C-alpha cells in the first residue's frame, strides 16, 4: 500500500492538463476491447487502431470499449481525443491516485472507482477504474488486465437484448456493481486477518504484532479513503441529475447505494475493532508484567526469610545454645519447611499460583 | 453474531437481481399464513399454494400475509411475482444482511427491520423482518418461525373492526411497534451482562474478562448498525411522503419514532459504558501490580537489613568482642526484632499493610 | 438512577396506547389542584371529581390544573378524556421515561420536561413533568407532590392580572423556567462532588474512588439525555410554529433557551472533567508504584553490597590476612558505613529521598 | 475561574425579569461617561443623573454612553428604563455569566461579549461586556473600570468626523474589535504557560504538574465557552439581518469574523496540546519507573552471584580443598571482580548504564 | 513554526485598517514584476514606481503584477491605493498570519493561500500568498523572492495566446495550482519523517523521540489550519458566485478542488498515524520494563535458592552429618547446578530467555 503522496509529487511543476501516468505500471500491455451490442447480437472485437472506435458512435445499440493497462500514454491520449474527452478527464484517467468521484461533462459522465485486489501477498492492492458513460457508449479504463469485468462481458454476450433495453447506463451500473461486490471478497479475508491478530495480541504481546496492527490500521485508513467517496458518487448518480441515467437504472443504483453503505459500515466496524486492539496490547503487556513480578515476589518472599534463618545459625557467637542441641539442625530444617509451606499456602489463597 | 461480510461475499460475481438466501437457515420449513379482515370478521388461513394470495387483492378489507422461514427460495420467488414485486425487492428479502431501510416503489412500500432475539445462549441473534405495505395488504417475511407477531395476530382476531378502520398502514405500524418493543426486553438482559462484567473487571482483571468485553463491544457495534438506520426509516414513514401512510397513523409513527430514539440512546449509553471499561481493566491491572510489588518490597525491606546483621556476626575476624559476650546472641535477636517491628510500623503508617 | 430500559421492558407485548404507569411510585396520593384566574382575581380549588375540570373551559381567563402524583391511572385517564387528549398523550404522561419533547396536536401542545431533585441521598433523582398547553388552560402533571411549582402559584395568586395579560403560554413558560432554574441548584451540588472526587483521585487512588467515578459518569450520561433534548423543545416553542405561543412570550422563551444552553454547557464541562479523571487515576496509580519501587530499590541497593562484604569475611579460607588484623572488624564496619552513606547521598541527589 | 453554576443558582426561585447582579463585585463605583460626537466635535461628559441621557437621543450625531461597574443595580435599572430597554435585557446585563450572544429587539441590538484580562495572578479573568446598539447611540456596560475602551475613546476624540460618517454601528464594531484584539495578548501569555508546563512534564513528572495541567485544561474549557459563541454573534451581525448594521460596516465585521476564527483556532490548538500532555505525563512516569527498575536490577544482578560465591566458601564442609589453598582467597576475589566486570559490560552493551 | 498568536498580539490597540507587517521579514528587498500579455505577445517589466501599474489597466489583454517581499510597507500601501484596493485588503496582505480565504469586493476577488516550503532545516515554513483577481489583471503578493511562480511565468511567456483566451481567472487558477502541487513535494518529505519516527519509537523509546513526536504533531496541527480552509476557498471560487470566474475555468477549479481534498486526506492520514504513535511509545516503554524485570526475576530466582543452600551449610550446628561427608561439598555443588539448570529450563519454556 503506497504512501498517499508518493507519486503525486512527480507532477509538481507541470502545467495542468498534462497526462502523466502516476502509479506503478501494473500491466505491460495495453489491450483495447470493443463490444457492440443491439437487439439481435453482441460482437466483440479487439482493437489496435484507436480510430476504429469512431465508427461505432452513430450506430444504433450500445458500444462498450474496455481498456486494460494504462502505460501506453500516447495511444490512450489519442483514444481520448477520438472520443472527444476533455483534457482534464484524460489527465485524471492516467493519474491513478484519484479519489472516487463522478463529474458531469454534459455529453458524458466521468466516473472514477477503486477496485480492490490481493496483489500476490497479504496486502490489499487497489486499482483505479475509470468509466465514461455516454448516451450510447461506455468506456472503461482498468490499470491491469485482471479480467475483472469478464463476468459482465459473458452475461452480456449471452443476453444482449436485455442489456440494450436498459441502455448504456445499465451497463455502467453492472460494471460498478461488479467492483463493489468484489469488495466483500476482499473484506472477508481482511476480517480473518483482524481476528487472527486480535487472538495473537491477547495471547502473546510481541512487538511484531504491534507492527502488524499498525500495518492493518494503515490499510484500513487507506481503504476508507478509497470507499467513502463512493457513497457520494453512487448517491449523485442515483439522484438522477444527469439525463444519461434513466429512471429504471435509478432503482438499481439505489440498490448499489445500499451495498456501498454496507461496505462503509464494515470498514468502520474494522476500524473500531483495530482501534481497540492497542488497548488490548497494552493490557496484555501489563498482565505479563504482573506475572513476571509475581514469580519474583514469590521467590523472594519464600527464600528471604529462610536465608535469614540459616544466617542466624551461621553466626559465630560463643554462647548460642541451639547450636549444641542434638536435634537443632533437623529442627531448623523442619521450621524452614513449615515457613515455606505457609508462604505457598498464602500465595495460593491469593490466587497467585 | 456473524462477521458482517461473511455471507455477502458468496454473491460476488452473480448478476444483480439474483435471489440467493444469504444467512443461516433459521427455520427448516417455510410457513405462509394469510389473514383477511374487514369490518365484521377476521379469517386466518394457512396457505400452501402461493397463487391463493392473488384472490384476496381486490376484496374489501385488509389482507395480511405472514411468511415464516426464508429458505424455500423458489416458492417465495413465485409469491413475490404473484404480488408484483420488483426483482430487487425479492433479492433483498432473501439477503438477510440488509440494513433497516424503507423504499418507495409507488404501488407499495418496502420496509426492512431487524428483530432481536436470544439465540439460545447469551449472544443476541438478529432476524431480518421484511414488510411490504400496499394499499390494502401487508406482507411480512420472517427468517424463523418464532411467533414474534402472534400478539398482533391475537389482538387483530379479537377486534378486526378497529384495525380495518385504521387501514393497512396501521397494521404495518403495529408490526414495527412489536419489533421495537421487543428491543427493550433484549436490552434489559444486555444491561445485566454489562453491569456484571463491570463489577468483575474491578474485582478480578482476568484475560477472560477482556475477551468478554471485546465480545460485548462487538455485539453493541453490531446492534448499533441494526438500530441506527431504523430512526431514518421511521422518520421517513412518519413524514408522510407516501400516500400509503395515512395522517392518523402518522401520530402513531411519531410515537414509534420516540421509542426508536429511546433505543438508540440506550445503545449509546451502553457503548459509553463499555468504552470506559478498558480503562477500568487497565487500572485494575495496575492496582494488582501495586499490591504484588508492595508484598515484595515489605519482605525485602524487612529481611535485607536482618540478613545483613546476621551476616556481620557470621564474619570470622579474630577480634570481634561481641562474639564473646554472654548476652550477645539474645541482644542481637532483640535488636533484630526491634528493627522488624519498626519497619512494620513504618509500612502501616504508609498504609501499605 | 435507574437503568434506561428497566421499566420500559414491562410494556413489551401490550398494544400501543395502553396507559401503564412506568416508573417507581413517587407519591402515594394523587392530588389535583385547579386554579382559575382572570383580570380581577385568582381562585385555587382542590379537585376530587375530574368532571369539575370541564366547567372552566369556556369561561374567560386562564385555568391551570396541577396534578401531583401519577399512580391513580384510572382517574387520570378519565381526566385526559375529559380534556380531550389523544390516547398516545395519555399513555406518554404515564410513561415517565420519556425524553423531553414537544408535540403539536393542533388544539393543544404536549410538552415533556425532566425536573431534577435530590432523592434523599447523593444521587440525583429525575421527575417527569408533562405540560398540556391549550388556548386558555395549562395542565401540569408531576410525578410527586414536591411543591416544585409553589413559587409560581404564589406569584400568580398575588398578581393574576399580569399573568392573564400574557396568556396561558406565559404560565407554561413560567413553569418551564422554574424547572430549568432548579437545574442550577442541582448542578452546584454535582460540581462539589466532582471536585471532591478529583482531589481524592490525585491523593489516594483507591478502587472505591473508581466506583464513585463510574457512578458519576453514569449520572452525567443520564442527565445529558434528560437535558439535551430540552434545547430542541424550547427552540421549537420559541420558533413560534404554533399559534398557541404568542409573540411576547417568544422573547421569554429565547431567554429560557439561553438558560438551557447554559445548562448543556455545564453538563459538557462536567463530562470533560470526568473523562479526564480516569487518566488522573491511572497516573496516581503509576506514581504510587514508582514510590513503592523506589523504597525497594533503595533498600536493595544499600544492603546487597553490605551483605556481600560481610559474606566475604564469613568465608572459611585458611589464609585470609584481614581476619587476623587487630582493627579488621572496626575497619570493615567503617567501610560499610561509608558505602551506605555514599548510596544515600546518591539517592538524595537523584531526588529519590 | 469560577465554577459555571456557582452564582446562577442564587437566582433559582425568583420570577423571570428580576435584575440581580450575578458575579463578584469587580468595581466599587459605577461610573457613567457620555460622549456625544458629530461632524465638528466630540464632547465627553461624566454623568451622575441617568435622566441626562435622555436629552441626547434626538440630536444629530452619535452618542456613546459607557458604564463602568455593575453593582449599583437601582441606578442602572433606571438607566435601562430611560433608554427603553426590555426588562429581560436589563436582567441579562446584570447576569454576568451570559454566553456571548446578540439579540435583535427591533429598535436596538443587544450584544454580549466576554473580555479577558489577567486578574492579578496567573489565572485569566473574564469580564462581561454588554453593548446596546441603537440607530444613533451605543451603550456599553463593563463590569470593572479597567479602561479597556480608552483607546477607542482617544481615537474618537481626535477624529470624530470619521466616526460620525460610519455611524453608530462602526463604533460598536470598534469596541468589539478592541475586545477581540485583546484576546491575542492574553493567549500569548497562555501559550507561554502551556509550553513551560510541557517542558516540565517531560523533565519531572510531579503531581503538582498534574494539578497545573488540570487547571489549564479547565481554563481552556472555560475560555472556549466564552469565545466559541462569539463566532455566531459576529457572523449574525455581518449577515446584515438588522438595518442597524450598514453595508460598509459589514466589511469590517467580516474582518472581525476572521479574527474570531483565528482566536477559536488558537484555542483548539491549545486544547489539542493539553489533551496530549496527559499521555506525556504518563509516559514520563513510565520512563522514571524504568530507570528505578534498572538501578535495582543492575545492583541485584551484580551482587546476587557474588554473594552466592562468598556463601559457598562460608560453608563448613570438612573436605573443601579450596579453603586450604594458599592463593584461594585472592583467586576468589579476582574471579568475583571478573564476574562483576562482565555484568557491567553486559549492561553497558544493553544501554542500561 | 511560530506560535499562532505570537505576532498578532503586536497589533492589539491599533485602529482597524492599519497596515502592519506581521511576520518575520523573509526577504530584504521588495521586487515588483509587471507582465502584460495579449493575443500576440507577452512583455515582462521590472517596476520601481508603483504608478506605472496604472497605465496598463485599460489596455486590452491581461496584466499580472507579481510582488515578492512584503517589508516595504509604504510602497506597497501606495500600490494598493493605485489599484483601488480596500484598506482592509491592504491590511490583510501585510498580516501574514491570515487563514486561507476568498473575499468578494465586487470589482475584484481577494484570495489568500499558504505556500509551504522547507525553511532550511527540517521544519516546514509557510508563506502567505495573496492574490487579487480583477477583470483583466491579477496581482500576486509573495512574502519572499523564492521564484515559486517562475514555472507559470515561463509557460505564459511561451504561449501568451493560450492564457489570454482563458482570461485573468485562468492565470489565477494556474498560480493556485502551483501552490497546491507544491504541497505534495513537502508532504512527501513529511511522510518520510513520520515513518522514520515510527520505526524509532518501536525500536527505542527515548524521551527525544517523544519530543520529535510532539514537534511533528504541532506541525501537522499547523499545516491543517493552513490547508483546511483552502477547500472552502476553492469550492467558493468554483461555485461561480463571482462573474470574474468564467465557466471554462470552473472545470479547472473543480480539478484543483480534487487536489485540495487529496491534500486534506493526506494530512488527516498523517494525523491519525501520529495520534497512534503515543500508544506505540507507551507500549515500547512497557515492553522495555518487562525485559528489565525479566532479567531481575531470572537472576533472583536462580540465586536466591542457591544462596539459601550454601547458607544451610554455613550454619554452625555441632551435629550436621553432611558436613563430615567425604563427598558432601561436591554433592552440594552438583545439586545446586541441577537446580540452576532446572530454573533455566523453566524460563526457556516460558519464553523468557
pLDDT digits (tens, 9 = 90+) for D207-229: 788 888 888 988 888 888 888 89
The CA distance from C262 to C184, in Å, is: 9
Cell matching residue C19: 396507559
C210 CB neighbours in chain B (<8 A) are 202, 280, 283
Contact D289 C287 (CB under 8 A): no
CA-wise closest residue to A254 among A238, A269, A243, A265: A238
The CA distance from E240 to D299, in Å, is: 75
CATH 1.20.58.340 in chain B, residue ranges? 294-349
The CA distance from D1 to D221, in Å, is: 11
D316 CB neighbours in chain E (<8 A) are 313-316, 320, 323
Q: How many CB atoms lie within 10 A of CB A329?
A: 21
E266 CB neighbours in chain A (<8 A) are 4-5
Q: Does A1 score more than 50 pLDDT? A: no
Query: What are the residue ranges in chain E where pLDDT is below 50?
Result: 1-2, 4
The CA distance from D219 to D1, in Å, is: 7
pLDDT band at D1 (very low <50, low <70, confident <90, very high): very low
> What secondary structure letter does DSSP report for C8?
G
The CA distance from C289 to C293, in Å, is: 6
Of A280, A290, A307, the CB nearest to B210: A280
> Average pLDDT, whole number, for chain D?
86
Upper half-sphere CA count for residue D123 (Cβ side, 13 Å): 10
Rg of chain E over Cα atoms, rounded to whole angstroms, equals 34
E187 CB neighbours in chain A (<8 A) are 4-5, 9
ipTM of the complex: 0.76
Contact B323 A301 (CB under 8 A): no
Cβ burial, residue B242 (10 Å; 0-12/13-18/19+):
middle
D-chain residue closest to E327, CA distance: D319
Residue A90, C-beta contacts closer than 8 angstroms, at least 6 positions apart: A19, A76, A77, A80, A81
pTM attached to this predicted model? 0.82
Closest CA–CA distance from residue B337 to any residue of chain A (Å): 13
Of E262, E273, E311, the CB nearest to A310: E311
| Ramachandran assignment for A257, one of left (phi > 0), alpha (psi -120 to 50 degrees), beta (any other) | alpha
DSSP β-bridge partners for residue D32: D47, D67
Edge-to-edge order in the sheet of strand B42-47: B42-47, B31-37, B62-68, B137-142, B124-133, B109-118, B101-104
CA-wise closest residue to D125 among D237, D242, D226: D226
Please tell me whether residue E24 adopts helix, strand or coil conformation.
coil
The CA distance from B284 to B287, in Å, is: 5
Of E185, E290, E318, the CB nearest to A292: E290
Mutant choice from E1, E12, E223 vs D, greatest count of D C-beta within 10 A: E12
pLDDT of residue B23: 65
CA-wise closest residue to E270 among E209, E218, E231: E218
The answer to whether B320 touches B329, Cβ cutoff 8 Å, is no
Cell matching residue A319: 554462647
**Which H helix or E strand runs over B44?**
strand B42-47
- Quick: pLDDT tens for D164-189: 888 899 999 999 999 998 898 888 88
Q: Is the dihedral of CA C217, C223, C226, C227 positive or negative?
A: negative
Query: What's the length of chain C?
Result: 353
Please tell me whether residue C18 adopts helix, strand or coil conformation.
coil
E6 CB neighbours in chain D (<8 A) are 188, 191
pLDDT band at D147 (very low <50, low <70, confident <90, very high): confident
Contact C283 D281 (CB under 8 A): yes
Q: Is the dihedral of CA A133, A137, A143, A148 positive or negative?
A: positive
Residue C268, C-beta contacts closer than 8 angstroms, at least 6 positions apart: none
pLDDT of residue C10: 64
Closest CA–CA distance from residue A236 to any residue of chain E (Å): 16
Rg of chain A over Cα atoms, rounded to whole angstroms, equals 34
The answer to whether E323 touches E313, Cβ cutoff 8 Å, is yes
Of C99, C282, C299, the CB nearest to B261: C99
DSSP β-bridge partners for residue B201: none
CA-wise closest residue to D225 among A286, A125, E163, C266: C266
E286 CB neighbours in chain D (<8 A) are 286
Of A182, A265, A266, the CB nearest to B12: A182
- Quick: pLDDT tens for B260-291: 998 998 898 898 888 888 888 888 888 888 98
C306 CB neighbours in chain B (<8 A) are 308, 311
The CA distance from A223 to A232, in Å, is: 15
DSSP β-bridge partners for residue D164: none
The CA distance from A66 to A79, in Å, is: 12
Please tell me whether residue C197 adopts helix, strand or coil conformation.
helix
How many C-D residue pairs are in contact by the CB < 8 A criterion? 156
Mutant choice from E203, E220, E297 vs A, greatest count of A C-beta within 10 A: E297
pLDDT of residue B41: 86
Contact C184 D281 (CB under 8 A): no
Percent of chain B predicted with pLDDT > 90? 33
- Quick: pLDDT tens for B192-247: 899 899 888 877 778 788 888 888 988 888 888 888 899 999 998 988 778 888 88
Mutant choice from D287, D308, D322, D324 vs E, greatest count of E C-beta within 10 A: D308
A-chain residue closest to B228, CA distance: A265
Residue with the three cell numbers 503525486: A8
pLDDT band at A64 (very low <50, low <70, confident <90, very high): very high
The answer to whether C226 touches D38, Cβ cutoff 8 Å, is no
Of C222, C278, C313, the CB nearest to B279: C278
The answer to whether A117 touches A146, Cβ cutoff 8 Å, is yes
- Quick: pLDDT tens for A218-242: 888 888 888 889 998 999 898 877 8
| Ramachandran assignment for A219, one of left (phi > 0), alpha (psi -120 to 50 degrees), beta (any other) | alpha
CATH number of E294-349: 1.20.58.340
Of B286, B318, B352, the CB nearest to C323: B318
Cα C255 to chain centroid distance, Å, stands at 23
Closest CA–CA distance from residue E299 to any residue of chain A (Å): 9
Q: Does A269 score more than 90 pLDDT? A: no
E329 CB neighbours in chain D (<8 A) are 315, 317, 319-320
Closest CA–CA distance from residue A317 to any residue of chain B (Å): 4
E-chain residue closest to D316, CA distance: E314
pLDDT of residue C145: 83
Contact E8 D184 (CB under 8 A): yes
Q: Is the dihedral of CA A244, A247, A253, A258 positive or negative?
A: positive
DSSP β-bridge partners for residue A116: A126
Residue with the three cell numbers 448517491: A235
pLDDT of residue C7: 54
Closest CA–CA distance from residue C207 to any residue of chain B (Å): 8
Contact C300 D304 (CB under 8 A): no
Contact A311 B316 (CB under 8 A): no
Q: Does B5 score more than 60 pLDDT? A: no
Contact A293 B295 (CB under 8 A): no
Closest CA–CA distance from residue A174 to any residue of chain E (Å): 26
Contact C329 B316 (CB under 8 A): no
Closest CA–CA distance from residue C97 to any residue of chain B (Å): 9
* Phi–psi pair at E38, nearest 5 degrees: -135, -165
Closest CA–CA distance from residue C68 to any residue of chain B (Å): 25
Residue B274, C-beta contacts closer than 8 angstroms, at least 6 positions apart: B194, B213, B216, B217, B220
As a whole number, mean pLDDT of residues A332-339 equals 95
The CA distance from A296 to B306, in Å, is: 20
The CA distance from A24 to A2, in Å, is: 10
Of E16, E293, E316, the CB nearest to D255: E16
What torsion, rounded to 10 degrees, do the Cα atoms D208, D214, D215, D219 define?
160
Cell matching residue E47: 517596476
The CA distance from C271 to C224, in Å, is: 9
Pairing type for strands B101-104 and B109-118 reads antiparallel
Any idea which of A51-55, A192-196, C44-48, C158-162 has the lowest mean pLDDT? A51-55
pLDDT of residue E113: 93
CA-wise closest residue to E201 among A214, A221, A274, D277: A214
The CA distance from D82 to C162, in Å, is: 22
pLDDT of residue A119: 63
DSSP β-bridge partners for residue E138: E64, E133
Cα C317 to chain centroid distance, Å, stands at 77
Please tell me whether residue A137 adopts helix, strand or coil conformation.
strand
The CA distance from E186 to E119, in Å, is: 11
Q: Does B4 score more than 70 pLDDT? A: no
Between C211 and E27, the more confident residue is C211
- Quick: pLDDT tens for B73-114: 888 888 888 888 998 899 888 888 888 999 988 889 999 999
Edge-to-edge order in the sheet of strand A62-68: A42-47, A31-37, A62-68, A137-142, A124-133, A109-118, A101-104
CATH superfamily for D31-282 is CorA soluble domain-like (3.30.460.20)
The answer to whether A5 touches A23, Cβ cutoff 8 Å, is no
Closest CA–CA distance from residue A161 to any residue of chain E (Å): 37
> What secondary structure letter does DSSP report for A241?
-
Cα C122 to chain centroid distance, Å, stands at 10
Mutant choice from B166, B281, B308, B320 vs C, greatest count of C C-beta within 10 A: B308
CATH 3.30.460.20 in chain B, residue ranges? 31-282
The 3-state DSSP composition of chain C as helix, strand, coil percent (nearest 5) reads: 60, 15, 25
Chains that touch B (3 or more CB pairs under 8 A): A, C
Contact D310 C305 (CB under 8 A): no
Pairing type for strands A62-68 and A31-37 reads antiparallel
D214 CB neighbours in chain C (<8 A) are 198, 276, 280
The CA distance from D51 to D31, in Å, is: 15
Cell matching residue B117: 432475539
Of E214, E217, E307, the CB nearest to D308: E307
Rg of chain D over Cα atoms, rounded to whole angstroms, equals 34
Residue with the three cell numbers 413558560: C173
pLDDT of residue C248: 82
C317 CB neighbours in chain D (<8 A) are 313, 322-323, 325, 328-329, 332
pLDDT band at A297 (very low <50, low <70, confident <90, very high): very high
Q: Does A55 score more than 80 pLDDT? A: no
C-chain residue closest to D279, CA distance: C279
Cell matching residue D137: 447611540
Contact B289 A289 (CB under 8 A): yes
D303 CB neighbours in chain E (<8 A) are none
B-chain residue closest to C104, CA distance: B251
Amino acid at each position: 500500500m503506497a504512501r498517499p503522496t508518493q507519486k503525486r509529487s512527480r507532477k509538481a511543476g507541470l502545467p495542468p492538463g498534462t497526462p502523466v501516468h502516476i502509479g506503478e505500471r501494473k500491466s505491460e500491455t495495453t489491450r483495447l476491447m470493443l463490444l457492440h451490442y443491439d437487439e439481435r447480437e453482441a460482437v466483440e472485437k479487439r482493437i489496435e487502431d484507436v480510430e476504429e472506435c469512431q465508427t461505432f458512435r452513430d450506430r444504433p445499440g450500445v458500444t462498450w470499449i474496455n481498456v486494460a493497462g494504462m502505460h501506453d500514454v500516447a495511444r490512450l491520449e489519442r483514444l481520448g481525443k477520438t472520443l472527444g474527452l476533455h483534457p482534464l478527464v484524460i489527465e485524471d484517467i492516467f493519474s491513478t491516485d484519484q479519489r472516487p468521484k463522478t463529474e458531469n461533462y454534459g455529453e458524458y459522465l466521468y466516473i472514477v472507482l477503486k477496485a480492490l485486489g490481493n496483489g500476490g501477498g497479504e496486502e490489499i492492492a487497489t486499482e483505479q477504474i475509470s468509466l465514461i458513460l455516454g448516451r450510447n457508449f461506455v468506456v472503461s479504463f482498468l490499470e491491469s488486465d485482471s479480467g475483472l469485468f469478464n463476468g459482465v462481458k459473458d452475461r452480456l454476450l449471452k443476453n444482449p437484448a436485455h442489456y440494450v433495453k436498459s441502455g448504456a447506463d445499465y451497463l455502467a451500473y453492472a460494471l460498478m456493481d461488479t467492483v463493489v461486490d468484489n469488495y466483500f471478497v476482499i473484506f472477508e479475508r481482511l476480517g480473518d486477518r483482524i481476528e487472527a491478530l486480535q487472538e495473537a495480541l491477547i495471547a502473546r504481546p510481541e512487538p511484531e504484532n504491534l507492527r502488524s496492527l499498525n500495518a492493518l490500521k494503515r490499510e484500513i485508513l487507506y481503504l476508507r479513503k478509497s470507499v467513502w467517496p463512493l457513497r457520494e458518487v453512487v448517491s449523485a448518480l442515483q439522484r438522477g441529475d444527469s439525463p444519461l441515467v434513466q429512471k429504471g437504472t435509478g432503482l438499481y443504483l439505489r440498490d448499489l447505494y445500499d451495498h456501498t453503505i454496507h461496505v462503509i459500515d464494515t470498514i468502520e466496524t474494522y476500524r473500531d475493532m483495530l482501534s481497540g486492539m492497542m488497548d488490548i496490547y497494552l493490557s496484555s503487556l501489563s498482565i505479563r508484567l504482573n506475572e513476571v513480578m509475581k514469580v519474583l515476589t514469590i521467590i523472594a518472599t519464600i527464600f528471604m526469610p529462610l536465608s535469614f534463618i540459616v544466617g542466624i545459625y551461621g553466626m559465630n557467637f560463643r554462647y548460642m545454645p541451639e547450636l549444641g542441641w542434638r536435634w537443632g539442625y533437623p529442627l531448623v530444617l523442619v521450621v524452614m519447611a513449615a515457613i515455606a509451606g505457609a508462604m505457598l499456602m498464602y500465595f495460593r489463597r491469593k490466587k497467585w499460583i
